[in-house]
Amino acid sequence: MVVTTRSKRRIFQQEIERLSLIDMASDDTSNLSSNTTTSRSLSTSHTEEQILTTLAKEQIKTLSKFGGAENEDVVIWIQHVEEVFDRAQLQSSNKYLAIQSYLVDAALKWFRFNKSNILDWSSFKTAIVQAYQPTLHQTLVKLEQRYQLPGESVMEYHYDKLHLCLQADPNMSSCMIVHYLTKGLNDYLIPHVIRRHPTTPHDFLVIAQDEEKIFITLKGLSSDSTTDADNYPTEHNYGASTVGVIQRPIHTNRRSSNRQYHQLSPQPLMNIPINPYRQSSTSSSLHYYFQQRPSSLSSRQCYSCYGFGHLAV
């Protein structure tokens, strides 16, 4: 078969068209994949937004109610309420309607009597803070009485006490804030924090948290000890187990203080016979000897019969 030039051109043209079709199909597939990815991203974003909105609405249901009691902090309460409302993406008009369901007791009565002057969410926040914000004296009392509670973390205590400091005086100096923060710490943390000289509230938080972590670590190490409690020399049984081994030293040259250990039999003078079974002291033996000794010191003793008054020839 003879292939002419026209046939070659036709085959070449067909190949070009085939290749061009392959490229177009690839582009269509790429575009389809891109569109699918974009669609999935939008769907995922919408789903996450719905989940977050649902969670925020659930938090709205669990919001604490405000009754205007002395132990309730209206500033903290209103801040928490607004944070939850913002996460739920509530508009200001809806915030104003929703907040009315969370007023009870004296606060609800206050709102009913002043509702005509409270027209929106912004005016509500201003009015309720002015009505129930504690006086300076009450704030200072709370500030002095606020101590770190057992089991309370340094961070939780720090921000609560810092809020009271700024509530008492928005322009309070860092030195005074650090003073109040240190004063309310747990007793075992105070000397360690003071030794490191914090100068700002942030420095105080970092240092106090470091010391808290060290204390927790040491406490964990001591509780993990597996040493037998009966053999371990604790502060209670260490002294008792060693004191019994120590004995009072015996001074042989001090017979009066150690007579029970070194009680010697009295030596006979001039061969006076002494009963070895008689348990007498030195003083009693001497007394016995001097009773038997003649009163005359000038008398001489016989070396043969040991009698007095004569001499052996």
Cβ(168)–Cβ(143) below 8 Å: yes
Distance CA 158, CA 206 (A): 10
Question: Residues of the chain with pLDDT > 70: what percent?
Answer: 58
pLDDT tens digits, one per residue of 70-129? 888 888 899 888 888 888 888 888 889 888 889 999 999 999 999 989 989 999 999 999
Q: Which of 100, 105, 60 is nearest to 80 (CA)?
A: 60
pLDDT of 229 > 50? The answer is: no
Highest average pLDDT, of 59-73, 84-98, 185-199, 236-250, comes from 185-199
The set of residues, in sequence order, having a beta carbon less than 8 Å from that of 53 and lying 6+ positions away, is 88, 89
CB distance 165 to 177 below 8 Å: yes
Distance from C-alpha of 269 to C-alpha of 294, rounded to nearest angstrom? 13
Q: In the predicted model, what is the mean pLDDT of the chain?
A: 74
User: Residue 263's pLDDT band (boundaries 50, 70, 90)?
Assistant: very low
Q: Cα(300)–Cα(252) distance, rounded to whole angstroms? A: 37
Tokens of 117: 């002057």
Q: Are 231 and 240 in contact (CB under 8 A)?
A: no
- Provide the whole-model pTM: 0.49
Per-residue pLDDT reduced to its tens digit, 142-159: 899 999 999 999 999 999
Half-sphere CA count of 60, side-chain side, radius 13 A: 20
In order of start, what are the domains of the chain with their CATH numbers?
Answer: 74-132 (no CATH), 136-221 (1.10.1200)
From the centroid of its chain, how far is CA 189? Answer: 9
pLDDT number for residue 260: 47
DSSP structure class, residue 299: -
- Output the six-digit token pair for 307: 């009698």
Q: What is the DSSP letter of 256?
A: T
Tell which wins on pLDDT, 56 or 80. Answer: 80
Q: What's the average model confidence in pLDDT over 151-180?
A: 93
**According to the per-residue pLDDT averaged within each range, which of 51-65, 173-187, 249-263 is highest?**
173-187
Alpha helices in 62-135 (DSSP H): 74-87, 92-99, 105-114, 121-132
Report the pLDDT value the prediction gives residue 186, as an integer from 0 to 100: 93
Contact 87, 97 (CB under 8 A): no
Cβ-Cβ contacts under 8 Å for 290 (sequence gap 6 or more): none
Q: Which of these, 166, 198, 167, lies nearest to 183 by C-alpha position?
A: 198
Query: Measuring CA to CA, which residue among 222, 223, 196, 220 is closest to residue 207?
Result: 196
Helix (H, G, I), strand (E, B) or coil at 152: coil
pLDDT digits (tens, 9 = 90+) for 1-53: 555 667 767 776 776 677 666 555 445 555 555 666 566 666 666 677 777 66
| Three-class DSSP category at 164 | helix
Cβ atoms of 127 and 118 within 8 Å: the answer is: yes
